[in-house]
């Protein structure tokens, strides 16, 4: 389901290079009366010299709203049925994504209109991540959680890839469809979620009969089946006469401060802030960077940028596998971030392999923290079996990370006019800071491996 969320976020990065183009390379219609040869093919208000700043406004309208809303989303997610919560969020996200694209057909040139659609879309998309992580965390235990969630988390990269490819089909002819089609897809996925999502193993087991109910059911049904010659006489033990009601959970939901007090939540949240800053800068600016540096068309630049997400799929799975084997979530993240720091400065077009490797190293820690680490902390032993903390913990971690996701594209929009190298220096600095926030946890994991973990006092 969450692949649809990412699919609907990606079009803006693809469409940027169409909203502001190099009009000197575009064939001008003969009957077109123009006053400015340099910007005649651009879409106002992005036809001005400050177009990169305006793109930054659009990015941050979504990301700031997403970051703020995320801190409240987990609180609501703990108290509302996840199936209803996810379905409503997907339907509303589809609406606002499509409305953004309709601005093309309605000939809207107001920055405020597009920024408002981004704000509303950012708010409703906060329904997604805490809810889906809570659902997956409820289904799987800790044993192979890193690998399972690493494979599962590949849906974010798959969503980015599909969003790039779908948006690229329409971007050169009618960029509005680059938003409308993903909007329809995520709304349709929301309908599927409403009818088919089962939130946890516990709720699923409640739909199945107990052995006693199965024997009673056969006792009642067998005489009836014997009188029905054309009916199969076997009664499946999975048939239940009880209506599939909602099972009440009387565990008290955890508070915001209570979630912050869980060991490791603050460190991983601050690490994710800088890791997500790097990841989302690539997400929103890589197609435009490729277009400017390699002089590709919008569709070709979008297709090339998907290599970063392909690498992200492998990186997320590898991070999960390594952390499961070693038991060191923090160390795995730290090593990948250290290696990624020098790599981000060479991810230019001629180095296609670098795009794949950098995508894996950047998105690996990001994927691990937002999935397996969040699930581990949300089911931490200090919670004493409280199963209703997972969504809140996930929201705090991802909400803090979303602050970095908002800062990254904003800083890229401000810094990029001074040169793309300065943007890469900013990304390297962010990777180093992410590692520093994990240093205490890495030290504790190293102590445990060496068998010198400090004894608890008292």
Question: Residue 142 maps to which CATH number?
Answer: 1.20.1250.20
State the chain's mean pLDDT as an integer: 79
pLDDT grade for 357, boundaries at 50, 70 and 90: confident
Confidence (pTM): 0.71
Q: Cα(59)–Cα(10) distance, rounded to whole angstroms?
A: 11
Asked if residue 253 belongs to a domain, the reply is no
Write the pLDDT tens digit of every residue in 315-342: 999 998 998 888 888 999 999 999 988 8
pLDDT above 70 for 207: no
Asked if residue 220 belongs to a domain, the reply is no
Cβ pair 298, 13 in contact under 8 A: no
Among 91-100, 219-228, 240-249, which range has the highest average pLDDT? 91-100
Distance of CA 48 to the CA centre of its chain: 32
Asked if residue 243 belongs to a domain, the reply is no
Q: Cα(397)–Cα(142) distance, rounded to whole angstroms?
A: 19
pLDDT grade for 349, boundaries at 50, 70 and 90: very low
Query: Token pair for residue 299?
Result: 């569709």
pLDDT grade for 452, boundaries at 50, 70 and 90: low
Q: Cα(428)–Cα(338) distance, rounded to whole angstroms?
A: 9
pLDDT above 60 for 457: no
What pLDDT score was predicted for residue 389?
Answer: 66
- The DSSP letter of residue 456 is P
Asked if residue 244 belongs to a domain, the reply is no
pLDDT above 90 for 293: no
Look at residues 187, 194, 207 and name the one whose alpha carbon lies nearest to residue 85: 194
pLDDT above 50 for 33: yes
> Mean pLDDT across the stretch 384-407?
76
pLDDT above 80 for 391: no
The domain total for the chain is 1
pLDDT above 50 for 245: no
Asked if residue 204 belongs to a domain, the reply is no
What pLDDT score was predicted for residue 217?
Answer: 46
Query: Token pair for residue 136?
Result: 């997956």
Q: Cα(161)–Cα(286) distance, rounded to whole angstroms?
A: 13
pLDDT above 50 for 358: yes
What pLDDT score was predicted for residue 36?
Answer: 60
Task: Kindly report the number of other CB atoms within 10 A of residue 332's CB atom.
Answer: 28
Asked if residue 101 belongs to a domain, the reply is yes
Q: Cα(296)–Cα(418) distance, rounded to whole angstroms?
A: 21
Q: Cα(420)–Cα(396) distance, rounded to whole angstroms?
A: 32
pLDDT above 70 for 31: no
Cβ pair 398, 129 in contact under 8 A: yes
> Mean pLDDT across the stretch 399-413?
87
List CB contacts of 67: < 8 A, sequence separation 6 or more: 399, 402, 403, 405, 406
pLDDT grade for 247, boundaries at 50, 70 and 90: very low
Cβ pair 37, 191 in contact under 8 A: no
Buried/exposed code over 278-315 (b: 16+ C-beta within 10 A; e: otherwise): bbbbbbbbbbbbbbeeeebbbbbbbbbbbbbbbbbbbb
pLDDT grade for 376, boundaries at 50, 70 and 90: confident
What pLDDT score was predicted for residue 355?
Answer: 82
Query: Token pair for residue 254?
Result: 């955890």
- The boundaries of the domain holding residue 166 are 1-20+41-199+259-449
Look at residues 403, 386, 151, 427 and name the one whose alpha carbon lies nearest to residue 272: 403
Q: How wide is the angle at C-alpha 124 spanned by C-alphas 122 and 125, nearest 5°?
A: 65
Q: How wide is the angle at C-alpha 122 spanned by C-alphas 53 and 310, nearest 5°?
A: 80
pLDDT above 70 for 284: yes
pLDDT grade for 429, boundaries at 50, 70 and 90: very high
Query: Which range, of 30-44, 183-197, 290-304, averages the lowest pLDDT?
Result: 30-44
What pLDDT score was predicted for residue 184?
Answer: 96
Asked if residue 226 belongs to a domain, the reply is no
Cα separations in angstroms, 294 against 287, 342, 349 = 10, 21, 6
> Mean pLDDT across the stretch 302-313?
86
Q: Cα(128)–Cα(126) distance, rounded to whole angstroms?
A: 5
Asked if residue 380 belongs to a domain, the reply is yes
Share of the chain above pLDDT 70, in %: 75
The sign of the dihedral angle between the CA atoms of 47, 53, 54, 59 is positive
Query: Token pair for residue 307?
Result: 């290599």
Query: Token pair for residue 95?
Result: 């609406």
Cβ pair 14, 164 in contact under 8 A: yes
What pLDDT score was predicted for residue 412?
Answer: 87
């Amino acid at each position: 389901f969450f692949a649809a969320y990412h699919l609907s976020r990606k079009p803006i990065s693809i469409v940027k290079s169409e909203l502001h183009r190099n009009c000197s390379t575009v064939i001008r219609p003969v009957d077109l009366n123009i006053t400015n040869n340099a910007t005649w093919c651009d879409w106002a208000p992005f036809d001005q010299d400050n177009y990169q700043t305006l793109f930054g406004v659009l990015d941050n309208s979504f990301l700031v709203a997403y970051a703020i809303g995320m801190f409240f989303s987990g609180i609501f997610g703990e108290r509302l049925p996840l199936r209803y919560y996810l379905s409503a969020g997907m339907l509303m996200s589809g609406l606002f994504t499509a409305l953004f694209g309709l601005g093309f057909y309605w000939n809207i040139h107001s920055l405020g209109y597009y920024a408002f659609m981004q704000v509303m879309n950012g708010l409703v998309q906060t329904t997604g991540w805490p809810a889906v992580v809570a659902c997956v965390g409820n289904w799987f235990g800790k044993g192979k959680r890193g690998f399972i969630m690493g494979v599962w988390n590949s849906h974010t990269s798959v969503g980015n890839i599909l969003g790039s490819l779908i948006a690229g089909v329409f971007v050169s002819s009618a960029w509005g469809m680059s938003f409308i089609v993903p909007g329809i897809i995520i709304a349709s996925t929301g309908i599927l979620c409403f009818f088919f999502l089962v939130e946890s193993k516990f709720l699923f087991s409640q739909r199945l009969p107990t052995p006693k109910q199965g024997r009673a059911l056969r006792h009642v049904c067998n005489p009836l089946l014997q009188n029905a010659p054309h009916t199969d006489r076997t009664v499946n033990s999975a048939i239940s006469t009880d209506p599939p009601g909602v099972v009440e959970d009387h565990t008290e939901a955890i508070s915001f401060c209570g979630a912050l007090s869980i060991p490791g939540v603050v460190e991983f949240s601050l690490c994710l802030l800088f890791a997500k800053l790097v990841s989302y800068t690539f997400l929103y600016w890589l197609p435009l960077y490729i277009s400017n540096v390699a002089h590709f068309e919008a569709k070709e630049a979008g297709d090339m940028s998907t290599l970063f997400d392909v690498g992200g799929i492998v990186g997320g799975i590898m991070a999960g596998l390594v952390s499961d084997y070693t038991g060191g979530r923090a160390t795995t993240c730290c090593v990948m971030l250290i290696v990624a720091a020098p790599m981000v400065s060479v991810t230019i077009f001629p180095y296609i392999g670098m795009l794949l490797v950098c995508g894996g190293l950047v998105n690996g820690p990001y994927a691990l923290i937002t999935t397996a680490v969040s699930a581990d902390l949300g089911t931490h032993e200090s919670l004493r079996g409280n199963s209703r903390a997972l969504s809140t913990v996930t929201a705090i971690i991802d909400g803090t990370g979303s602050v970095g996701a908002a800062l990254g594209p904003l800083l890229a929009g401000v810094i990029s006019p001074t040169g793309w190298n300065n943007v890469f220096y900013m990304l390297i600095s962010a990777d180093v800071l992410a590692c520093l926030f994990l240093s205490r946890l890495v030290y504790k994991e190293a102590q445990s491996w060496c068998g010198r973990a400090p004894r608890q006092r008292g």
